[in-house]
Structure 1
Amino acid sequence: MSLRLGCIADDYTGATDLGAMLARAGMRVLLVFGDPAEPLAPEGYDAAIIALKSRSIPPGDAVAQSLSALASLQAAGAQRFFFKYCSTFDSTPEGNIGPVAEALADELDVRRVAFCPAFPENGRTVYNGCLFVHGKPLNESGMEEHPLNPMTDANLVRWLGRQTEREVAILSYDALDDGAPTIGFDSFYVADALKDAHLKNLAAEIAKDRLSTGGSAIGYWLARALLQGDEREASVGLGEFDGRCAVLAGSCSTATQRQVAAMRAASPAMRVDPLALASGDQTVEMILAWAAAQPQDTPFMIHSTADPEGVALAHERLGRERACELIERTLGRVAAGLIDTGVRKLIVAGGETSGAVLRELRIDAVRIGPEIEPGVPWVASLGKPRLALALKSGNFGSDDFFSRALEQLA
Structure 2
Amino acid sequence: MLGALADDFTGATDLAMALVARGFRTVVSIGVPSHERLTVLPEQADAVVIALKTRTIEPSAAVAASRTALRALRRMGATRIYDKYCSTFDSTPAGNIGPILDALASDLGTSLTVVVPSFPAAGRTVVDGQLYVHGTPLGESPMRHHPLTPMTDSDVPRLLAAQSTASVVQVGLGTVRSGGLREALESLRSESLRSESLRSESLRRGDEVVAVVVDAQSEDDLVTIAAATADLPLITGGSGLALGLSGPGAPPVRLSAHGGPKAVLAGSASAATRGQIAHAQALMPHRRLDIAALRADFEGAVAGLRTWAVREWQQDSEKPVLVYAVGELSDVQPAAAGEVPASDLVEQALSRLASEFADAGCRQMIVAGGETSGAVVSALNVRELVIGQPVAAGVTWAQGDSRGRVMNLLLKSGNFGDEDLMSGAWTVLS
Distance in 2, matches of 1:324 and 1:371, equals 29
| Alignment CA distance shift 1:165-1:321 (3 Å) | farther
Distance in 1, matches of 2:382 and 2:407, equals 10
Equivalent of 2:395 in 367, 376, 385: 376
Equivalent of 1:335 in 351, 354, 359: 354
Counterpart of 1:354? 373
1:257-276 superposed Cα distances (whole Å, 9 cap, x missing partner): 00000000111111002222
Deviating more after overlay: 295-304 vs 95-104: 295-304
Are 2:348 and 1:345 aligned? Answer: no
Off by >4 Å, runs of 4+ in structure 1:
37-40, 318-321
Contact 2:34 2:72 in 1 (8 A): no
Give, in angstroms, the shift of residue 320 of structure 1: 8.7
Equivalent pairs, count = 399
Counterpart of 1:289? 307
Are 2:385 and 1:385 aligned? Answer: no
Distance in 1, matches of 2:51 and 2:339, equals 24
Are 2:229 and 1:234 aligned? Answer: no
Give, in angstroms, the shift of residue 246 of structure 1: 1.0
Distance in 1, matches of 2:405 and 2:367, equals 17
Deviating more after overlay: 190-199 vs 15-24: 190-199
Distance in 2, matches of 1:188 and 1:58, equals 22
1:83-104 superposed Cα distances (whole Å, 9 cap, x missing partner): 0001111111110000000000
Q: How does 1:168-317 map to 2 (within 5 A)?
A: 168-179=168-179, 181=181, 182-183=183-184, 184-186=187-189, 187-222=210-245, 224=246, 227=247, 230=248, 232-280=249-297, 283-294=301-312, 295-311=316-332, 313=333, 315-317=334-336
Distance in 1, matches of 2:392 and 2:326, equals 21
One-letter identity of the residue aligned with 1:109: G
Distance in 2, matches of 1:175 and 1:107, equals 30
Give, in angstroms, the shift of residue 167 of structure 1: 1.1
One-letter identity of the residue aligned with 2:378: R
Contact 2:8 2:370 in 1 (8 A): yes
Distance in 2, matches of 1:31 and 1:316, equals 35
Contact 1:180 1:201 in 2 (8 A): no
Distance in 2, matches of 1:393 and 1:100, equals 21
One-letter identity of the residue aligned with 1:378: W
Distance in 2, matches of 1:260 and 1:37, equals 38
Give, in angstroms, the shift of residue 301 of structure 1: 0.6
| SS of equivalent residue, structure 1 residue 367 | strand
Counterpart of 1:45? 45
Counterpart of 2:127? 127
| SS of equivalent residue, structure 1 residue 115 | strand
Give, in angstroms, the shift of residue 166 of structure 1: 1.2
| Alignment CA distance shift 1:318-1:285 (3 Å) | farther
Give, in angstroms, the shift of residue 235 of structure 1: 1.9
Distance in 2, matches of 1:24 and 1:354, equals 22
Distance in 2, matches of 1:133 and 1:35, equals 31
Counterpart of 2:116? 116
Give, in angstroms, the shift of residue 324 of structure 1: 1.3
Contact 1:16 1:377 in 2 (8 A): yes
Give, in angstroms, the shift of residue 338 of structure 1: 0.6
Give, in angstroms, the shift of residue 306 of structure 1: 3.6
Counterpart of 2:8? 11
| Alignment CA distance shift 1:318-1:374 (3 Å) | farther
Counterpart of 1:31? 28
| Alignment CA distance shift 1:318-1:146 (3 Å) | farther
| SS of equivalent residue, structure 2 residue 50 | strand
Contact 2:389 2:429 in 1 (8 A): no
One-letter identity of the residue aligned with 1:196: E
Distance in 1, matches of 2:180 and 2:307, equals 58
| SS of equivalent residue, structure 2 residue 42 | coil
Give TM-score scaled by structure 2 length. Answer: 0.90
Contact 1:81 1:211 in 2 (8 A): yes
Give, in angstroms, the shift of residue 308 of structure 1: 2.4
Unaligned runs of 5+ in 1: none
Equivalent of 2:342 in 304, 323, 333: 323
Identity %: 41
Give, in angstroms, the shift of residue 111 of structure 1: 1.3
| SS of equivalent residue, structure 1 residue 6 | strand
Contact 2:25 2:250 in 1 (8 A): no
Deviating more after overlay: 393-402 vs 272-281: 272-281
Equivalent of 1:363 in 379, 382, 398: 382
| Alignment CA distance shift 1:320-1:306 (3 Å) | farther
Contact 2:255 2:429 in 1 (8 A): no
Give TM-score scaled by structure 1 length. Answer: 0.94
Counterpart of 2:85? 85
Counterpart of 2:99? 99
Contact 1:304 1:327 in 2 (8 A): yes
Distance in 1, matches of 2:341 and 2:357, equals 24
RMSD (Å), alpha carbons: 1.6
1:326-347 superposed Cα distances (whole Å, 9 cap, x missing partner): 1111100100111111111100
Give, in angstroms, the shift of residue 180 of structure 1: 6.0
Equivalent of 1:398 in 418, 423, 426: 418
| Alignment CA distance shift 1:325-1:71 (3 Å) | same
One-letter identity of the residue aligned with 2:134: H
Give, in angstroms, the shift of residue 321 of structure 1: 5.9
